[in-house]
Structure 1
Amino acid sequence: MTYPLILIPFILVTVVVTLLAARRPGRRERLVASLWTAAVLILLTAVFDNAMIAADLFTYPDEHISGIRIGLAPVEDFAYPVCIAFLLPSIAALLPERRAAS
């Protein structure tokens, strides 16, 4: 199995949950925060994945990746932080509000 195939369920869940949460109040603020978070996580992933691969801490077999790389890191590595940046706030938006104890 290749890394792009492994990503499909994560991406699908992220898209579905994000679309469901788009119906909740605070959609614009949540999406802007997710975009900023994704940008920072992409930058951190680029720096640290490349450093770890350069240090030979791990490798990716060419037959399991798409072949598209950002530096030494396969582009697939960037999908996880982007999914998390959108998925976690969307899940939080879908959870019922907690009421303060009286």
Structure 2
Amino acid sequence: MTYPLILLPFLLLTIIVTAASATRPRFAQRMRASAWTAGVLVLLTAVFDNVMIAVNLFSYPPEHLSGLRIGLAPLEDFAYPVCAAFLVPAIFSLVSPRRKSA
């Protein structure tokens, strides 16, 4: 189960940074957009990872996986796009200067 352990820092970082961005403007709107984006990315990952695995472009050693799959794609493959969908906007909101109220 190497791959699930590799994912833990990414998941924790995503949770921490996203929670830290909760004080920034339009958090709820950003979370809705991130959720929609994550859904689309998961769908695309499901389609294309399954195709690439089916035509033997790559494979995963089973001893390093959790064993959970969506089709041929290991569940671990879906964590990266989900993290990106939430982490990138959260980081952007944190590094963007706050606008002063007029």
- State if a TM-score over 0.5 links the two structures: yes
The superposition leaves residues 6-58 of structure 1 with CA deviations (integer Å, 9 ceiling, x where unpaired) of 00000000000000001111101100000000000000000000000001000
Quick one: structure 1 residues 15 and 98, their matched pair in 2 at CA, closer, same or farther if it must change by over 3 Å? closer
SS at match of 1:58: coil
- d(CA) in 2 for partners of 1:32, 1:63: 36
Question: Residues 98, 28 of structure 1: CA spacing in aligned structure 2 closer, same or farther, 3 A cutoff?
Answer: closer
Please give the TM-score of this superposition, normalised by the length of structure 2.
Answer: 0.93
Q: Which amino acid aligns with 1:61?
A: P
Q: How does 1:1-102 map to 2 (within 5 A)?
A: 2-97=2-97
Q: CA deviation at 1:97?
A: 2.2
Q: Which amino acid aligns with 1:14?
A: T
**Structure 1 counterpart of 2:38, which letter?**
A
Task: Give 2:48's aligned amino acid.
Answer: F
1:98 shift after superposition: 8.4
Percent of aligned pairs with the same amino acid: 66
After TM superposition, which residue ranges in structure 1, 4 or more long, deviate above 3 angstroms? none
Q: Distance in 1 between matches of 2:81 and 2:96?
A: 25
Aligned-pair CA distance for 1:93: 0.6
AA of the residue aligned to 1:5? L
Q: What SS class does the counterpart of residue 22 from structure 1 fall into?
A: helix
Q: Please state whether the residue corresponding to 2:60 is helix, strand or coil.
A: coil
CA-based RMSD of the aligned residues comes to 1.4
